[in-house]
Amino acid sequence: MNQFISFPENFVWGAATSSHQIEGAWNEDGKGESIWDRFNHTPGKIWDGSTGDIACDHYHRWREDLDRMQKLGLKAYRFSISWPRVLPKGRGKVNQAGLDFYNRLVDGLLEREITPFVTLYHWDLPQALQDKGGWPERATAHAFVEYADVVSRALGDRVKHWITHNEPWVAAFMGHLLGVHAPGLQDFTLAMRASHHILLSHGWAVEVLRRNSANAQVGITLSLQDVTPASPSHADYQAARHLDAYLNRLFLDPLYGRGYPADMVAYFQQEHGGSMNFVQAGDLEAIAAHTDFLGVNNYTRQIARDARAAENLPPTITTENSEFTEMGWEVCPEGLYRLLNRLHFDYQPRCIYITENGAAFPDQLSEDGRVHDEARLRFIRDYLRAAHRAIQCGVPLAGYFVWSLMDNFEWAYGYTKRFGIIYVDFENQQRIFKDSALWFREVIANNGF
């Protein structure tokens, strides 16, 4: 018989989005250009040739979107602020129309008893700051603090949950090393510099957010993954340690006061001829600023195999019954369970929120007008089971935000990957609750399943 899984009292049930992925209105009401506007207006960068110019048109449809959130019974909504909507040139003159949009959004959420979780940076850097060098430059960290000050002065009386950055690894490495995200650069040193300045700006902003927003909870969201060696061999173990340093410890260690991991620094210096000379006195103390929670974005896990041992073998192995999402990511709820326990025991964050979890599958609009997204429903259910097991082990998990509230602009994949629990028809902007949304509504109502 299936057992009822009950979550702790006051568990925060939410959904997440980000500005560039849903808002559209890319140049309306005084908004400045972002690096993602520039990137997706550059031919060849986005799979389907699309842009975020209209996206879900949420900038104009926010009221009806809030009504849908209310219908789902969401307790919280995680969204991000578009920096160039508020400060078109990145610093200096404030665009009041931009701030007013977020003022209305926050008020609309509170009227519907939905708690706003605000992310300050979800990758849409003002292009004007990129023109001056972007995140590889220390000045961008200073600009971020000014931006954090402007936003938290305006919203800090009502917003009490702040996330400084979303997934610094993605912003730094996919944008500055792999080149598949804006600003599309390919240089290891630039990626390391970007990574440091993002973390530094986080540390500096924590204090500003606390000052402007009394009794607020402040944290950062990381993309984190469980990493397993492909075999018990020493070589595969070393490969797993390296991948863990690159994806996880490069961010976790400095945030939790341990400085940069020595193995990652050695790799940067020896393999890339790099220098950590961008780290100045006091930076590591600033990065380790006390936070109230850690935001965890988790979708899959990694299996690491030593490249030399892997000759004639596939680069990654999978377990026998592995299922993959449309992103090619292995479905592995056990990986979330292991990750949460590891974070709890290795770093002891006061509190953890899963700020993103979900899956892209090729949804079909059925003849009955519904979207029967059985695979997504199972995905969320199984990951929630894993999260629940982690809570039983003592992990201080306080909430779960599904990615995403609705189908949206999936970065370099354009509109080809659907992550939403709400289906969006991008021809006419019609929204339809998928079966996963209807199921999630029940989970929220029952605080479990």
Q: Is 167 a catalytic residue?
A: yes
Q: Using alpha carbons, select from 31, 29, 9, 10 the residue that is nearest to residue 20.
A: 31
Which structure tokens are listed for 316? 């990654």
User: What backbone phi and psi angles, to 5 degrees, belong to 272?
Assistant: -120, 5
Among residues 21 and 34, whose Cβ is nearest to ligand IFM?
A: 21
Instruction: State which of residues 124, 167, 283, 330 lies at the interface with ligand IFM (CB under 6 A).
Output: 167
Furthest CA-CA distance within the chain: 63
Q: Is 213 in the site for ligand IFM (CB under 6 A)?
A: no
Among residues 167 and 363, whose Cβ is nearest to ligand IFM?
A: 167
Instruction: State which of residues 127, 297, 355, 436 lies at the interface with ligand IFM (CB under 6 A).
Output: 297
Q: What's the rounded Cα separation, in Å, for the pair 354 and 221?
A: 9
Contacts of 158 (CB under 8 A, 6+ apart): 106, 107, 110, 116
- How many CB atoms within 10 Å of residue 69? 21
Q: What's the rounded Cα separation, in Å, for the pair 200 and 137?
A: 11
Q: What is the DSSP letter of 148?
A: H
Instruction: State which of residues 246, 383, 403, 415 lies at the interface with ligand IFM (CB under 6 A).
Output: 403
**Sequence letter at residue 388:** H
Q: Is 28 a catalytic residue?
A: no
Binding mask 335-374 for ligand IFM (x = CB under 6 A): ---------------------x------------------
Q: Is 65 in the site for ligand IFM (CB under 6 A)?
A: no
Q: Is 410 in the site for ligand IFM (CB under 6 A)?
A: yes
Active-site residue identified among 23, 33, 137, 167: 167
Among residues 45 and 91, whose Cβ is nearest to ligand IFM?
A: 45
Active-site residue identified among 23, 137, 330, 356: 356
Among residues 166 and 201, whose Cβ is nearest to ligand IFM?
A: 166
Helix (H) / strand (E) containing 164 = strand 161-166
Q: Is 18 in the site for ligand IFM (CB under 6 A)?
A: yes
Smallest distance from the beta carbon of 136 to ligand IFM, in angstroms?
Answer: 21
Q: What's the rounded Cα separation, in Å, for the pair 101 and 320?
A: 49
First to last CA, the chain: 13
Among residues 94 and 375, whose Cβ is nearest to ligand IFM?
A: 375
Residues at the contact surface with ligand IFM, assessed by CB under 6 A? 18, 21, 167, 297, 356, 403, 410, 419
Active site amino acids: 167, 356
